[in-house]
Amino acid sequence: MGQREQRSVITGAGSGLGAAMAHRLAQSGYRVGLVDIDAERADAVLQEIIGRGGSGFAFPMDVTKEAAWGQLKSEVERHWGGLDLLVNNAGVAAAGRLEDTSLADWRWIIETDLMSVVLGCHAFLPLLRSQGSGHIVNVASFAGMTPVPEVSAYVTAKAAVVALSEQIRVDLADSGVGVSVVCPAYVQTRLLETFRSADPGHRKMAGRWMEKSAVSAEDVAEDVFRAVERNRFLVLTHPETRWLWRFRRW
C-alpha cells in the first residue's frame, strides 16, 4: 500500500494509541478520519495534525451504536469516495474474576471492545471488497492471547477480537484487502480514566504496570504502520510478549 493520499479512519483517536496512530499516518501522507466519543479530544488531535500539514476530519461517535457506523461510512464516502485503512482501536478495560464482575460491566466490555470491531468491519468490509484493496487493523491485547489473572471480561473480549481477525483474514483471502491484529501489553494511555473494578487494587496495579512500560504509544503506532505497509497479520509490540508467544506456541 502506498503512502500518498491514502484514506484512513481511526476509532478512539482522541488520545493514547489512537492519537499516536493518527499522527503517524498523517506524517506519511494519509488523510485521517478521527473518531472518538469525546468530540473535543478528536478535534484537538485534528488541529494538531492540520498544524503539521496533514488533513482529515473529526467525527464524534459512540462506536457501540450501529446507526453511527452507517453515518460514519456516509461521511467517509462524502469526503473521500472510499477508504484504504480502518483502525478499530476504541476500547475500555475492567478487572475482576468472572463472578465478581457485574453483568453490566460484562456487557459494557463486550459491546465496546468486541462488538464495536464487529460493527466497524460490518460497515466497511463491503466497500473494501468492492475496491479490491484496503486494510483493516483491529487492536486487541496480549491479554487476548494468554490468560491473565482476574481480568475475565477484558481477556474474553480481546481473545474474541483476535479470533475474529483471524477469521476475517481467511474470508478475505485473494480479495486484495489485508488484515492485522495488534496485541500490545501495557502502554501509558488514558485507559484508566474509564477503568472499572470493584477492587481498588486492580487500578493501582494496572497503573504501576503502565508506568513501568518501556513501550510508548508512538512505538506501537510505528509497529502498526509497518504492519500495514508489509501486510503483516500479528503485531506484538512488546519484546517480552514475542518470547512468551513463541514459548506458548512451542
- Check: CB of residue 55 under 8 Å from CB of residue 127: no
- Give me the residue label for grid cell 451504536: 65
**Neighbouring C-beta atoms of residue 228, cutoff 10 Å:** 25
β-pair partners for 32: 8, 56
In terms of C-beta density within 10 A (0-12 exposed, 13-18 middle, 19 or more buried), how is residue 232 classed?
middle
- Check: CB of residue 8 under 8 Å from CB of residue 87: yes
**Neighbouring C-beta atoms of residue 198, cutoff 10 Å:** 13
Active site residues: 154
- Nearest-Å Rg of the Cα atoms of the chain is 17
Task: Supply the DSSP string of 113-165, one letter for each residue.
Answer: IIIHHHHHHHHHHHHHHHHT-EEEEEE--GGGTS--TTBHHHHHHHHHHHHHH
In which order are the strands placed within the sheet that holds 7-11? 56-60, 31-36, 7-11, 85-88, 134-139, 177-182, 234-235
What's at 75, amino acid-wise? E
